[in-house]
Chains A and B, each alone.
Chain A
């Protein structure tokens, strides 16, 4: 194993290090790397072509000229591992087949208790390879596809090709291009017409190699009148060097379909987290993005919903928590392309120490989108006097009948609230954490119970030693 692959610090609170030697590790951003990734995965020629074109696009496109400072990242792009293949025998069919080290990892992440019950519906990802995968039998019977993105390409090529990169083309932005060139891991989900998936589909994955970026790619297709809730959680260990996560999530919500995508991510504080998430919603369809962002050095993430069909609806609910040394630039986009479409954005951000959180959002209403309605609410909570927040709400309204609301608040952790809670016996730290939890409650209450509990725990950890 190369030296620089061994340097994984294990002092991170979730930290652990697995003594698992990768079979293949590809460093540096070149056509050669891209070709080898494609080859290692045994992909059809069109995908190899697609990747190589995306890489070209990546080199041509400029870095974003707005938002957080990415200059340090630009210097480092050649130092990352773009593909790491762990020594597994491919997707495991049952829990018993999962290698012992990886089970231990899950245990240390606290996953088994919370997730074993639902593991039947889980595609868990170890580095860039799916090592554990099983489809719940009822899902299979209903014709629901829930597999790794690699398997999706292999087994459902027609369907895959019809949607892949159609919602987020490689040229969408520089990091979507990067992901398109080197993507690895992620989920492929197809829910047939009229099928309602009752249990949330959950995917756990982790990043485990120093200097290795995670480039997951997820494609979800919810066919007419179908219903699904997909959940992605991520807790990654600490790296000694800066790391990169660049994901692309594409969701197609067909007529009258109903879908939710929930993610709670807690990245190490030297991670660049640059993700493109977009959904297209057809007539009468509904999509919710629920997005929790903790940790990272820089996060840029603006889940978008394109309301394409008449009466399509979407909600984007998000939470961001920025501490000293972190800049979380998050927000949402609602693009109203049809009549009677409606959208709601609720963004809750917390800045602590010298942390900075920015809301950046866009509401766009096209000319023909009569009676479109959108409401934006972004609330910032500042824990310390030196904490920072800013708001960039963009509006492009091209229809006079549109009803657009926007409300932004900035509040500070109030001494009188802390004192009040303390007089009831709560220690200062806990009082502060409770106020923060209350602040995010309008979003957190939409989370499934075990995730709400997990989020509360993370918030408490983030708030430790914050006052006094």
Chain B
């Protein structure tokens, strides 16, 4: 079976500075993995590089999607293959209505104009599940959105576009407890054999609602430990120092 997202020995630099130093990680389709690690470890960079951010330079290594190398594809080509990144800091695009934008994006995702009924069905389902008001659809993309609304909007896009592999970068940060539950509900509704997520987070709180199959910990540009859901609980209790020592000792 090649249905998985694979990162093989990935080295990535920015402005001559090496940020990722040999990341290896496999995310099989159908699973949800958590990616944790201290500030500056390189989690967001990994997410953006998987999505194809041209700001970063891949020095070495490969990214494979379902067995096909995508390391050199443009971000939109990757998206059309079913990859999605929910941004840690979603970008504002003034003057572009959420609904309009979603229709264009879904058209790219499906390779053809979505039937209007299907499009609205997806919108309606997502809006309801997210406990949101349809008014958001006529607002401009992220413009003037509160921090929490921006995060919710990422999940709205996720639900409408239905990617196969999603990376969620700190979608929980800045959310109140109700919004957190709503976002988790959105992600959980996507779970199934044809959907995977790499959930980047600092908090166990989110993982209580989105229970991961596997937990990875990144430090200093590398994945230093992989374990089950209990690893996240241990980090919550003990912090990162013990792991740092373990890594240094190894």
Q: Which of B52, B74, B91 interacts with A417 by CB under 8 Å?
A: B91
Chain B neighbourhood of A435, CB < 8 A: 93, 96
Give the contact-size bracket for chain B: 20 to 34
Listed stretches A85-93, A134-142, A387-395, A424-432; interface member: A424-432
Q: Which of A415, A420, A440 interacts with B95 by CB under 8 Å?
A: A440
- A105 at interface (Cβ–Cβ under 8 A)? no
- Are B105 and A425 in contact, with the CB atoms below 8 A? yes
- A441 at interface (Cβ–Cβ under 8 A)? yes
Task: Tell me the B28-82 residues at the A interface (CB within 8 Å).
Answer: 51-55, 74-76, 78-80
- A416 at interface (Cβ–Cβ under 8 A)? yes
Task: Write the A124-152 contact mask toward B (1 if CB under 8 angstroms, else 0).
Answer: 00000000000000000000000000000
- A419 at interface (Cβ–Cβ under 8 A)? yes
- Are B74 and A422 in contact, with the CB atoms below 8 A? yes
Q: Which of A414, A426, A441 interacts with B104 by CB under 8 Å?
A: A426
- Are B79 and A425 in contact, with the CB atoms below 8 A? yes
Measured CB to CB, the closest approach of chain A to B130, in angstroms, equals 18
- Are A422 and B76 in contact, with the CB atoms below 8 A? yes
Chain A neighbourhood of B74, CB < 8 A: 422, 427-428
Q: Quick one: closest A residue to B79, CB to CB?
A: A425
Chain B neighbourhood of A423, CB < 8 A: 51-52, 75-76, 78-79, 83-85, 87
- B140 at interface (Cβ–Cβ under 8 A)? yes
Measured CB to CB, the closest approach of chain A to B111, in angstroms, equals 10
- Are A417 and B85 in contact, with the CB atoms below 8 A? no
Q: Which of B79, B90, B95 interacts with A422 by CB under 8 Å?
A: B79
Q: Which of B80, B90, B96, B157 interacts with A438 by CB under 8 Å?
A: B96
- B94 at interface (Cβ–Cβ under 8 A)? yes
- B209 at interface (Cβ–Cβ under 8 A)? no
Task: Write the B86-108 contact mask toward A (1 if CB under 8 angstroms, else 0).
Answer: 01001111111000010011001
Q: Quick one: closest B residue to A425, CB to CB?
A: B108
Chain B neighbourhood of A431, CB < 8 A: 76
Q: Which of A414, A427, A434 interacts with B96 by CB under 8 Å?
A: A434
- A439 at interface (Cβ–Cβ under 8 A)? yes
Q: When chains A and B are docked, how far (Å) is the Cα of A417 from the Cα of B95?
A: 13
Task: Tell me the A392-450 residues at the B interface (CB within 8 Å).
Answer: 414-417, 419-428, 430-431, 434-435, 437-442
Q: When chains A and B are docked, how far (Å) is the Cα of A439 from the Cα of B95?
A: 6
Q: Which of A416, A428, A434, A442 interacts with B91 by CB under 8 Å?
A: A416
Q: Quick one: closest A residue to B142, CB to CB?
A: A420
Chain B neighbourhood of A430, CB < 8 A: 104
- B161 at interface (Cβ–Cβ under 8 A)? yes
- B109 at interface (Cβ–Cβ under 8 A)? yes
Chain A neighbourhood of B90, CB < 8 A: 420
Chain A neighbourhood of B76, CB < 8 A: 422-428, 431
Q: Which of B54, B80, B93 interacts with A421 by CB under 8 Å?
A: B93
Chain B neighbourhood of A441, CB < 8 A: 94-96, 140
Which of A414, A416, A419 has most B Cβ within 10 Å? Answer: A419
- Are B105 and A438 in contact, with the CB atoms below 8 A? no
Q: When chains A and B are docked, how far (Å) is the Cα of A434 from the Cα of B101?
A: 9
Chain A neighbourhood of B85, CB < 8 A: 423
Q: Which of B80, B87, B93, B140 interacts with A425 by CB under 8 Å?
A: B80
Q: When chains A and B are docked, how far (Å) is the Cα of A424 from the Cα of B74?
A: 12
- Are B54 and A419 in contact, with the CB atoms below 8 A? yes
- Are B140 and A434 in contact, with the CB atoms below 8 A? no
- Are A424 and B54 in contact, with the CB atoms below 8 A? no
Q: When chains A and B are docked, how far (Å) is the Cα of A416 from the Cα of B75?
A: 12
Measured CB to CB, the closest approach of chain A to B161, in angstroms, equals 7
- Are B105 and A415 in contact, with the CB atoms below 8 A? no
Measured CB to CB, the closest approach of chain A to B144, in angstroms, equals 13
Q: Quick one: closest A residue to B106, CB to CB?
A: A425
Chain A neighbourhood of B84, CB < 8 A: 423-424
- Are B101 and A419 in contact, with the CB atoms below 8 A? no
Chain B neighbourhood of A416, CB < 8 A: 91
Q: When chains A and B are docked, how far (Å) is the Cα of A440 from the Cα of B95?
A: 7
Chain B neighbourhood of A422, CB < 8 A: 52, 74-76, 79
Chain A neighbourhood of B105, CB < 8 A: 424-426
Measured CB to CB, the closest approach of chain B to A292, in angstroms, equals 15
Q: When chains A and B are docked, how far (Å) is the Cα of A440 from the Cα of B140?
A: 13
Chain B neighbourhood of A426, CB < 8 A: 76, 104-105, 108
Q: When chains A and B are docked, how far (Å) is the Cα of A420 from the Cα of B87?
A: 8
Q: When chains A and B are docked, how far (Å) is the Cα of A426 from the Cα of B100?
A: 13
Chain B neighbourhood of A415, CB < 8 A: 54-55
Measured CB to CB, the closest approach of chain B to A271, in angstroms, equals 28
Q: Quick one: closest B residue to A436, CB to CB?
A: B95
Q: When chains A and B are docked, how far (Å) is the Cα of A100 from the Cα of B55?
A: 56
- Are A438 and B94 in contact, with the CB atoms below 8 A? yes
Q: Which of B53, B83, B104, B109 interacts with A434 by CB under 8 Å?
A: B104
Chain A neighbourhood of B92, CB < 8 A: 417
Measured CB to CB, the closest approach of chain A to B158, in angstroms, equals 10
Q: Quick one: closest B residue to A442, CB to CB?
A: B95
- Are A424 and B95 in contact, with the CB atoms below 8 A? no
Q: Which of A424, A428, A442 interacts with B161 by CB under 8 Å?
A: A424
Q: When chains A and B are docked, how far (Å) is the Cα of A439 from the Cα of B75?
A: 23
Q: When chains A and B are docked, how far (Å) is the Cα of A442 from the Cα of B83?
A: 32
Residues in A lying within 8 Å of B, measured CB to CB:
414-417, 419-428, 430-431, 434-435, 437-442
Q: A415-B54, A422-B75, A427-B108 are in contact. List 13 more A-B contacts (CB 8 A).
A: A415-B55, A417-B91, A420-B90, A423-B87, A424-B105, A425-B76, A426-B104, A427-B76, A434-B101, A435-B96, A438-B140, A440-B95, A441-B95
10 smallest A-B Cβ distances: which pairs? A438-B95, A441-B95, A425-B108, A422-B75, A438-B96, A420-B91, A425-B79, A424-B105, A422-B76, A423-B51
- A-B contacts, 7 of them at CB < 8 A, read A419-B51, A422-B74, A422-B79, A423-B85, A424-B79, A426-B104, A441-B95
